[in-house]
Amino acid sequence: MKNLKNLTLIVICLLSFSLTQTHAQKFGYLNSMNLLQELPETTTADKQLEKLQNDITIKGQEMVKALEADYQAYVEKAQGGTLSVVQQQQEETRLAAKRDEIAKYEQTAMADVQKKRQQLLEPIIAKLNDLRSWQGKRLHHDI
């Protein structure tokens, strides 16, 4: 009988503790990515990033075309026999430097796009976080 009283008391304590814990915490779900895509600021930021990427791509393509034209001119001169061995080496060094410059430009361009993306999205994400906090407090959810 005493064991039954103790067991009942333990069950009641556990149930009351679990019920208190269940009512103490409220959680909500918010799909931040969907909301982020719906904000007009995100559309504006995406357009600015797209323009930057297009400008970078155009400049990169121009650099590649110039390198290809220089290389083609070099091949024609080398096959025509108008370049000495020293001139060929100088031309190859110059073309290799242009190629390296293009590779460096690509790396810098990618870093610039990422930096600009972060710069544009940072205030939008802060606004989203503020909105989520406000909504959580309004509904008494734990954040």
Q: Comparing C-alpha atoms, which of 113, 98, 92 is closest to residue 62?
A: 98
Cβ(100)–Cβ(28) below 8 Å: no
Which is more confident, 22 or 138?
138
The verdict on pTM exceeding 0.75 is no
Residue 9 pLDDT class (50, 70, 90 cuts): low
**pLDDT tens per residue across span 52-94:** 999 999 999 999 999 999 999 999 998 998 989 999 999 999 9
Q: In the predicted model, is pLDDT for residue 3 greater than 80?
A: no
Q: In the predicted model, is pLDDT for residue 114 greater than 90?
A: yes
Q: What is the pLDDT of residue 42?
A: 85
Q: In the predicted model, is pLDDT for residue 17 greater than 70?
A: no
Q: How far apart are the first and last CA of the chain?
A: 46
The count of C-alpha atoms lying within 13 angstroms of the C-alpha of 84, restricted to the half-sphere facing its C-beta, is 2
